[in-house]
Structure 1
Amino acid sequence: MKLAKLAVERPVTITMFILVIILIGTIALGRLPMDLTPDIEIPFLMITTSYSGASPEEIEELITRPIEQTVATLDGLDTLSTTSSEGYSRVRLELNYGTDLTEAKNDLRDLVSQIESRLPDEADQPRIRNFDPNSRPIIELSLAGLPATELKKIAENNIQPELEKINGVASAEVTGGREREIRINVDQEQLATYQITLAQIANTIRASNRDGSLGSVMVGKQEISVRAKGKFKDINDLKNLAITTSAGDKIPLVVLAKIEDGYQEINSLSYLNGQESVGISIQKQGDSNTVAVAAAVKKEVIRLQAELNGADLEITSNNAQYIEDSIAGVKQNFIIGGLLAVVVLFAFLRNLSSTFVIATAIPISVLATFALMFFADLSLNIITLGGIALGVGMLLDNSIVVLENIYRHRALGTARIAAAREGASEVSSAIFASTLTTAAVFLPVIFIQDMLAQLFTPMALTVTFSLFASLFVALTFIPMLSSKILKVTEQNQQEDNKANYLIFYRKLLQWALANRVSILILVVIFFSIFIAGIIFEFIPLKTEYMPSSDQGTVRIRISMPDNSTIEQTDKVVKQLQQSIADLNEIKLVTTRVWGDNARFTVELVDQSKRDKNAAIIAEEIRQRTANIAGPQINVSADTSMMHRGGGDTAVEVLIKGPDLNKLLELGQQTRELLATINGVRNSDLSLDKGNPEIHVRINQQLADFYGIEKSELIDYVNMALSGSTIDHLTEGGTEIDIVLKLADSASNSLNNLQNIKLFTNDGQEVLLSQLAEIIPGRGYSAIDRENQQRLITISSDIFERPLGEVQPEIEKLLADQLNLPSEYTIDYGGEAEEMASSFKQLFLAVSLAILLVYMVMAAQFESLLYPFIIMFTVPLAIVGAILSLVLTGLALSVNGMIGMIMLVGIVVNNAIVMIDYINHNRITMGRKKAILAAAPIRLRPILMTTSTTILALIPLALGIGTGAETQQPMAVVVIGGLLFSTLLTLIIIPVIYDIVDQLRLRVISFWQSKFHHEK
């Protein structure tokens, strides 16, 4: 090839070009953004609508159903799901991957505008937004060590502003703590006495608490603005305020109400390791580098901590840390793999100059890959770095083949420059074809339409970049360097010819060719037994969607019985905290308590400092908390970051039907059945009865008779019971809420509720019980729908069992024991749905990859026959890949399937080089002599390329380091497939070549004789 010739004849030019590549690659490496996974665009749109005070049933009927009926016609819509909860409607549209979200959002906006007039007047305007995976906080902080009131001030005044100054930080949201509040507790009897309403008090306060412009006056020659300063200075101004009655009398507010300067009622609590705390969530700007922003935040946190007196500012969650640890782990495995590959090269070559020449190919090819990644707008993440680590062994394949052939020419006595030129040119077409076949297997990725395409297209590009970079290095830098420094002695050549493995191989090959039919029959029998073993499950191949990854976090959810108070929930929280306090694997615990539920986030110490993974620790916590009476406690470990939308569980059973009571009954039966299956954990229902309620059914006719609007009545009662923030008092630059409500003595019982007094326009007093029926009731907490059908979702996690084993067991159990009425159907979602969809697409991708590889080889050999021979390596590789998973106990996952796609392109390379050289020898010798001459010559480069690829993957295959579990199945598949296919390729490919070529010659001879006879 001219490129190899040019490299040898123009060494300075090639050297300068390589130096440019190294320079650009080094700069690119410093500028490549770092993230956990490639940027993912989730094709979800959301419509949210608020309608204060409406029950889930009312929300469903008045808002959700009209919206979903209208938007169901949106182009590109795949799944339409909705949730109707108290005062809130959420419509989620899952679009087909590849849909233009901007265009879809505009179309959706047009559809929603058509029905806005049909929605209740009191409802807010529907809001449309994208699902943004970057909207989650990248870092969460907790501030503890002082009273909650002080912590809130410090967080808002000292910490939040400093954090929001950091470049790349979008917001720093403060949660928890207690805020000061001025509460006006109105005496209802005094209101009745003076015929004053809550609304009058609120309007008077707002009107009195105002500043305003009064115009301007001339002072000398200057025009000076005049402003009225009427805002309250302190609480005394509020206490001295007078309320005007309908008769014109002035009644001091303190006569009508008790005015308290205190703190908001506790409706949530936050803890850090058992101490009350305030939380701060950091969100990054959409296009910012997660790792860079997190590093800047960490630096600022250290500075702020030094300035805090008595308070402790702690980073409780840092997504960037897992990213850094994962990438560092992949880098480490990459370096170890590269060193192992160089060691095996020296073991084969036993020549320092040869090893040095080859070793230079790795950094040059990798830096060239980084440069191409930078220009392709890719990032450094566990997927792309996994591709580089996967390719580090393959980076050497082309260089090994070229160098070994140059080495052979030198050993035969050819001059150094001529050997470099001829040796590289001789194998250039073969390595070009092998590179094309490996790269071609990634082309079918374009036919994958879901999130897999977004995850693995960057890997495909990265591996392809590395392959073509290595091809360029092999055809330029390797011949150029070999022509200058490669030293080969006669002793080297004699040692190579007398190598024990070479002598053994020659004898084995002779025996194989003499017994070729028997060998072929044995291979067919073995392959048939293997296929039968898979079909009839004699070979225990496990399957799962994605490999579990220990992310060092355990999450605990507590759901208390109906109408539990925050004090009762807090008592259970403290009990649970005590039960896990002695676990050595726990680094810190953050807790958030709301009313009747609570959430724990348990951060574990680094993996290197504990013997148990997060899933096992979660199971231990589950057992420790099982005896806590009353609440439902769910414990789960963070083990995956690849879910669509980030929220799917391993198992999801979806039951659809019209009646909510029946759905709940079926859901409870399903949860009980799932509990009998080994390994199923944390079964949850999406539908449940809400807490007991008091229903106020307004009599519209009576309300109209008294001239009281329904909305006015609802707002008034809401203000009386819950209180309403009607204005603010500003002190020291801080706004303090002014809350107006009835005193507890007039609002904290059912009897008081019934006796709430309203006033007509003419001052007539009316009790609430006169205008409405007040009865106990109980609704549903939320109503879910999918594709305009009601449903209940039963979701579960699994522990220490593969999904592919559990899911069929679940489906069989429910089919046998769950009696569904005729109007009800059952579907399955979660990871099982994802796995079925992904495997189906990946099987198609494997099939297309095999076809593409065959077509590339057919074009290279200008023959349909020789590629057919080479393709026998593919089934051998798949057998090896599956056996490797079975032997290591790993499950076949999406990552493993990607590994199999790569295998299709990798395993044919050795056969291409061998067949190419056999055909080269056929020009001057017979078939068997050509095989016996070519195969031993190709033995060493085949063993070297296979060994370097396998050894480079061993660190990944061992799952060493943070996040390595995700790449482990892929590495194991490639190692097993490559090892098995290579060992058999050395015998099977020559045997099949011998048989097929003989048949070819007989067919040609037959047709020639027949043609000659007819002629």
Structure 2
Amino acid sequence: MFEAIVRNGILMTVAALIITVLGILAAFRVPVQMIPDLEVRTVSIQTSWPGATPQDVEKEILIEQEEYLRTLPNMQRLESSASSGSAVIELDFPFGVDMTQTLIEVNNALNQVPSYPENVDEPRVFANSFSANSFMYFAISPLPGNPRNVDMVMMRDFVVDNVRTRLSGVPGVSQVNVSGGAERQIRILLDPTRLADRQLTILDVRNAIRARNRDVSGGEVDGGKRRYLLRTIGRFDSVESLQDMIVDRRGDSLIRLGDIADIELDHSRIQNYAYFNARPILFASVNREAGSNVIDIKYAMLDAVERVNQDVLLPNGMQMQLMAEDAGYVEASIRNVWLNLALGALFATVVMFLFLRSVSATAVGILGIPVCTIAAFIGLLAAGRTINVISLAGVAFAIGMTLDNSIVVIEAIELKRRQGLDRIRAAIEGVQSVWTAVLASTLTTILVFLPVLFIREEAGQLYSDVAIAISASILASMLVAITLIPTASARLSFGTEHRSHTQSEFRERLLSRIDSLIATRQRRTATIAVTVTVSIAVILLLTPPAEYLPEGEEPKTFASMSAPPGYNLETMKEIGLEVQDYFMQFVGDDPDRFDRGETDVPAIRYLNTRISASGFRIISEPIKHADIDELMDAITAKYREYPGMRAFAARGSIISSNDGGTRSINLDVSGPNLGVIYAAALATYRRAEEVFGNPRIQSSPSSLSLSQPMLEVRPDWSRAAELGLTANDVGYTVAALTDGAFVDEYFESDDKIDMYLYGITGGETDVDNLGGLPIFTPQGSI
């Protein structure tokens, strides 16, 4: 077999070229990412109920859903949380579970929930994976000077309908998220006095709107040769049609909605504010599909954003710009790995030349480097993997290993030449004498990495790429060593055929020293003892600290300030803008000023802020990446200047989440009594501050206190019964006259807009005035 291979040089050359071309094509087809895709094990369920308190969300949504979800097979953990207007459940499953089947089972369980309260949105179910998190972040803001006087709060629906739909069509994008602003809303501002004068209740108005706002299908009607579809149109098509709606008829007089209420197309209550470098914005983030090429998505998305700017946003007085993206970090990291790979190949070539002392022999030896590197990409493509910093590291590791087989074969061929054989016969007999050893060495190396493929946790999913890349390269190196190396050696002169081993004084001295170490039994024992002792010392003294996974930190910080219970949005906005103004002076600053000690804050590249009633958040990065820790310290120090606020800052991570990474310690506190749980968690929090030096601690919920203020309306039910009021009547009326109550849906073209009933104050009722709200009762009294 080997004789046929060696004598057919042209055939082997063509085969090698074909494999090389296929490998290059494979390299361009393998997706490029930062890290391998991690297996999805978490399912999230989000349910929205606008205006509901956490207590009602828990009783009406979470308890109902948990009853059917807790029986799911293979579920390891169920965690639920209720907040104002929202319920979130997270389900954890073991590695290797069929996530498609799991999602079907989750949806089937949710379908068994009998019913939800009015105005509760359908639960959204989706699988979570860190590797599929957002990787590009955009800011949508008015043009400089805001020449069109654009109100960004009102632009949310416009952006969702006209921008998100276009960007979602970019190949490889799984989701585009838009946050900030507020959804449009039809606000019906009822005047309680005018209602009372006309002896109408708020529920009368609600029922009248719902009864009118309906389209009813009437089937089909034949007329001559034609068949017509029949519909009765009742839905409102304009604000004016709402104003003209008849609420009640009293004799010959009509009471219209416009007589008792002011109607406007506005927006719902603002839940948060977003800013980029102190400019109000809408925030858009892009998620990718698993297995997609993050580099291709980046440039395709930038092209799509440019088209959206020209066709949609600029004509409407807005612009969209990139705030931050992880793809650049991916490109830089992969570029560094490629550079290290090239340097490794160069150094391996130099070392090989120093030992072989022949240019032609070295050229034959390094023949396998490009072929084996290309084979690694073929292996990654065949295994469904991606090009990332980890798989490229495997390729770099394999370079030195791939030369081992070549060196063994070249040395055997050279030995045969020195024995007087011609080139072809030396190549044939040389490879025949060592091919079994090469095969055994290759298989043992592959078997070392093979077990990594069977590790199902995150470590296995991350480092299996290394195993695949090295195994494919080593296997290719064996094939190169027993085919291409002897074929090329049979046609080249190494220039070493007449070189004598005795010509090397270094070799003789080295062999002499080795002989002296093993000359006697005592020396052999001493050599073994010293070797074992040094090895143990290296293991004990030089082994670096152990971690489950590397941190993979980015020079980007996510810094949060949690507000005490009961803070409202306006209070946090005032604090947030003050903090934002303080740090804005360092955006684009000279980095050397911080190095010289002229400022306490490093120069900042950008400042992205988000303000909500529960807290304030900064996403930023320094101009000099080395200043990231100092920037985090400066932000947390500023946060702590405000009494009652709790600060937490963490670096972004390419491997774990942005809330502490793999070096965080997570502590779950559970029990039957909520007060005891909070007290234990707070005691743990304070103890951690004492034990650790300046720790970065965060908690969920953000406030470890049950002091959230709440007002409870407790009706006099005897009096309510006398007035003909039910619990639903009282509750709906109180909601409408304070924070607003959902009544029905309004359609504008294809857009669905909620209609809400409010009091005359439009949801800005003062606490002191709650007891004086006028309510007309069915008995005719106020």
TM-score, structure 2 as length reference: 0.84
| 1:504 and 2:509 matched | yes
Is the CA contact 2:309–2:320 (under 8 Å) kept in the aligned structure 1?
yes
Distance 2:537 2:357 in 1: 45
| 1:159 and 2:166 matched | no
Is the CA contact 1:148–1:277 (under 8 Å) kept in the aligned structure 2?
no
Letter in 2 for 1:382: V
The verdict on how the C-alpha distance between 1:59 and 1:690 changes in structure 2, with shifts beyond 3 A counting, is farther
The verdict on how the C-alpha distance between 1:690 and 1:348 changes in structure 2, with shifts beyond 3 A counting, is farther
| 1:668 and 2:682 matched | yes
In structure 1, the residue corresponding to 2:140 is in which secondary structure? strand
Cα distance, 1:487 vs. partner?
Answer: 2.6
* Partner residue in 1 for 2:607: 589
* Partner residue in 1 for 2:522: 517
Distance 1:638 1:336 in 2: 29
Is the CA contact 1:42–1:645 (under 8 Å) kept in the aligned structure 2?
no
Is the CA contact 2:560–2:649 (under 8 Å) kept in the aligned structure 1?
yes
* Partner residue in 2 for 1:197: 201
Distance 1:642 1:594 in 2: 25
* Partner residue in 1 for 2:136: 139
The verdict on how the C-alpha distance between 1:49 and 1:181 changes in structure 2, with shifts beyond 3 A counting, is closer
The verdict on how the C-alpha distance between 1:18 and 1:516 changes in structure 2, with shifts beyond 3 A counting, is farther
| 1:479 and 2:497 matched | no
What is the number of residues matched between the two proteins? 754
Which one of 575, 579, 601 corresponds to residue 576 of structure 1? 579
Distance 2:226 2:425 in 1: 96
| Deviation sequence 1:529-578 (CA, Å, 0-9, x none) | 8758977xx66742223223232321121222333332332232233223
Cα distance, 1:194 vs. partner?
Answer: 1.6
Instruction: Within 5 Å, give how 1:512-911 maps onto structure 2.
Output: 512-518=517-523, 520-521=525-526, 523-524=528-529, 527=532, 531=536, 541-581=544-584, 582=586, 584=591, 585-605=603-623, 610=624, 612=626, 614-623=628-637, 625-629=639-643, 631-642=645-656, 650-687=664-701, 688=704, 689=706, 691-697=708-714, 708-724=725-741, 726=743, 738-744=755-761, 748-758=765-775, 762-765=778-781
| 1:470 and 2:509 matched | no
The verdict on how the C-alpha distance between 1:206 and 1:400 changes in structure 2, with shifts beyond 3 A counting, is same
In structure 1, the residue corresponding to 2:151 is in which secondary structure? helix
Cα distance, 1:391 vs. partner?
Answer: 1.0
* Partner residue in 2 for 1:956: none
* Partner residue in 2 for 1:408: 415
Distance 1:369 1:533 in 2: 33
Is the CA contact 1:557–1:598 (under 8 Å) kept in the aligned structure 2?
yes
* Partner residue in 1 for 2:350: 343
Which one of 282, 287, 291 corresponds to residue 283 of structure 1? 287
In structure 2, the residue corresponding to 1:685 is in which secondary structure? coil
In structure 2, the residue corresponding to 1:551 is in which secondary structure? strand
| Deviation sequence 1:444-491 (CA, Å, 0-9, x none) | 335534222222223222211111011111111111111112332456
Unmatched tracts of structure 1, length 5 or more: 767-1015
* Partner residue in 2 for 1:314: 321
Which one of 168, 172, 190 corresponds to residue 172 of structure 2? 168
Is the CA contact 1:546–1:640 (under 8 Å) kept in the aligned structure 2?
no
Letter in 2 for 1:673: R
Cα distance, 1:120 vs. partner?
Answer: 8.8
| Deviation sequence 1:410-429 (CA, Å, 0-9, x none) | 34433111221122222222
Which one of 410, 422, 432 corresponds to residue 425 of structure 1? 432
Distance 1:649 1:284 in 2: 26
Instruction: Within 5 Å, give how 1:100-119 maps onto structure 2.
Output: 100-105=98-103, 116=113
The verdict on how the C-alpha distance between 1:743 and 1:391 changes in structure 2, with shifts beyond 3 A counting, is same
Cα distance, 1:118 vs. partner?
Answer: 11
Cα distance, 1:261 vs. partner?
Answer: 5.4
Distance 1:568 1:20 in 2: 69
* Partner residue in 2 for 1:43: 41
The verdict on how the C-alpha distance between 1:261 and 1:28 changes in structure 2, with shifts beyond 3 A counting, is closer
Cα distance, 1:634 vs. partner?
Answer: 1.8
The verdict on how the C-alpha distance between 1:646 and 1:716 changes in structure 2, with shifts beyond 3 A counting, is farther
Is the CA contact 1:35–1:381 (under 8 Å) kept in the aligned structure 2?
yes
Which one of 384, 387, 403 corresponds to residue 380 of structure 1? 387
* Partner residue in 1 for 2:600: none
Cα distance, 1:385 vs. partner?
Answer: 1.6
Cα distance, 1:517 vs. partner?
Answer: 2.9
Cα distance, 1:72 vs. partner?
Answer: 5.2
In structure 2, the residue corresponding to 1:652 is in which secondary structure? coil
Which one of 278, 283, 287 corresponds to residue 274 of structure 1? 278
Unmatched tracts of structure 2, length 5 or more: 592-602
In structure 1, the residue corresponding to 2:765 is in which secondary structure? coil
Cα distance, 1:102 vs. partner?
Answer: 4.2
Distance 1:263 1:127 in 2: 23
Distance 1:413 1:690 in 2: 94
The verdict on how the C-alpha distance between 1:311 and 1:645 changes in structure 2, with shifts beyond 3 A counting, is closer
Cα distance, 1:633 vs. partner?
Answer: 2.6
Is the CA contact 2:455–2:461 (under 8 Å) kept in the aligned structure 1?
no
Which one of 451, 454, 460 corresponds to residue 467 of structure 2? 460
In structure 1, the residue corresponding to 2:336 is in which secondary structure? helix
Using the aligned pairs only, state the percent identity: 27
The verdict on how the C-alpha distance between 1:314 and 1:541 changes in structure 2, with shifts beyond 3 A counting, is same
Report which stretch shifted further, 522-531 or 614-623.
Answer: 522-531
Is the CA contact 1:32–1:378 (under 8 Å) kept in the aligned structure 2?
yes
Letter in 2 for 1:149: D
Cα distance, 1:659 vs. partner?
Answer: 2.6
Letter in 1 for 2:709: P
Instruction: Supply the RMSD in Å over aligned alpha carbons.
Output: 3.9
* Partner residue in 2 for 1:93: 91
Distance 1:69 1:76 in 2: 16
Report which stretch shifted further, 697-706 or 399-408.
Answer: 697-706
In structure 2, the residue corresponding to 1:195 is in which secondary structure? coil
Distance 1:270 1:506 in 2: 73
In structure 2, the residue corresponding to 1:694 is in which secondary structure? coil
In structure 1, the residue corresponding to 2:549 is in which secondary structure? coil
Instruction: Within 5 Å, give how 1:209-228 maps onto structure 2.
Output: none
The verdict on how the C-alpha distance between 1:356 and 1:700 changes in structure 2, with shifts beyond 3 A counting, is farther
Cα distance, 1:289 vs. partner?
Answer: 3.4
The verdict on how the C-alpha distance between 1:657 and 1:746 changes in structure 2, with shifts beyond 3 A counting, is closer
Cα distance, 1:159 vs. partner?
Answer: 3.2
Report which stretch shifted further, 728-737 or 248-257.
Answer: 728-737
Distance 2:733 2:645 in 1: 35
Is the CA contact 2:652–2:658 (under 8 Å) kept in the aligned structure 1?
no
| Deviation sequence 1:819-861 (CA, Å, 0-9, x none) | xxxxxxxxxxxxxxxxxxxxxxxxxxxxxxxxxxxxxxxxxxx
Letter in 2 for 1:160: R
More helix by share: 1
Distance 1:421 1:202 in 2: 95
* Partner residue in 2 for 1:945: none
The verdict on how the C-alpha distance between 1:324 and 1:98 changes in structure 2, with shifts beyond 3 A counting, is same
* Partner residue in 1 for 2:19: 21
Distance 1:490 1:471 in 2: 25
Letter in 1 for 2:567: S
Distance 1:122 1:625 in 2: 38
